[in-house]
Amino acid sequence: MERPLLTLDLDGVICEPILGQDVGIHRDFLDPDAPPEPARVYPAWLRTPLDHLRFDLRRPMPGVRDALVRLGHVRRLVIVTGRRTMPTGWLRRHRLDRLVDDVIVNRTPLRSAHFKLETLRALGATEHADDDPRTIQLLAQAGGMHVYVCDWPGNRDLNFDARVERVTDLVDLAARLQAE
């Protein structure tokens, strides 16, 4: 029997933000009926070195390696990230690359939340873990998806859709899904 698919955000879920501050998350929700706004996409010659500066020194979240191993027993794992460059080197350096089935980066003109919505629909995903309130609420309101919000001070006091379940982190999520 094939394991169900669980998609995972990368930054703030698998890897720590710089200085422990998740400044990239947005507290304002998107209108699910409004057309998506296009993203500002920098040319590759600029984007690639900037992404290395922004992301290469980040550390994995505490306990994430064990959590991915445990989650891999009950789910197929695919990272879906709003990043526009492949995090292969970072995943390999932290020995996480073999713990996920695939990594999908944003190569579309869409901003992260809408990119994830379209990608998860195409994959047929019904479960996703993220930390960005804008993404979480959009996915939950789109229906057909159970969304796990990884707890951060920036998303702690928001009133999410009923299909959103708060978890401390991937360690907590692994314990819950293994207990099912």
| Residue 94 · residue 64 · CB < 8 Å | no
Query: How high is the pLDDT of residue 17?
Result: 82
The stretch 9-32 carries a mean pLDDT of: 79
Rounded Cα distance, 7 and 105, in Å: 12
Q: Which two tokens stand for residue 89?
A: 């080197």
Burial, 34: exposed, middle or buried (Cβ in 10 Å; 0-12, 13-18, 19+)? Answer: exposed
Phi and psi at residue 75, in whole multiples of 5°? -145, 155
What the chain holds in terms of domains, given with CATH numbers, is 5-17+42-179 (3.40.50.1000)
pLDDT (tens digit per residue) in 98-118: 999 999 999 999 999 999 999
Query: Quick check: 147 and 139 in contact, CB under 8 A?
Result: yes
User: What's the pLDDT band for 22 if we cut at 50, 70, 90?
Assistant: low
Residue 173 is encoded by which pair of tokens?
């999520």
Over residues 121-131, the mean pLDDT reads 96
What pTM value is reported for the model? 0.93
Alpha helices in 63-132 (DSSP H): 64-74, 88-93, 112-123
Proportion of the chain above pLDDT 70, given as a percent: 96
Q: List pLDDT tens digits, range 62-103.
A: 999 999 999 999 999 999 999 999 999 999 999 999 999 999
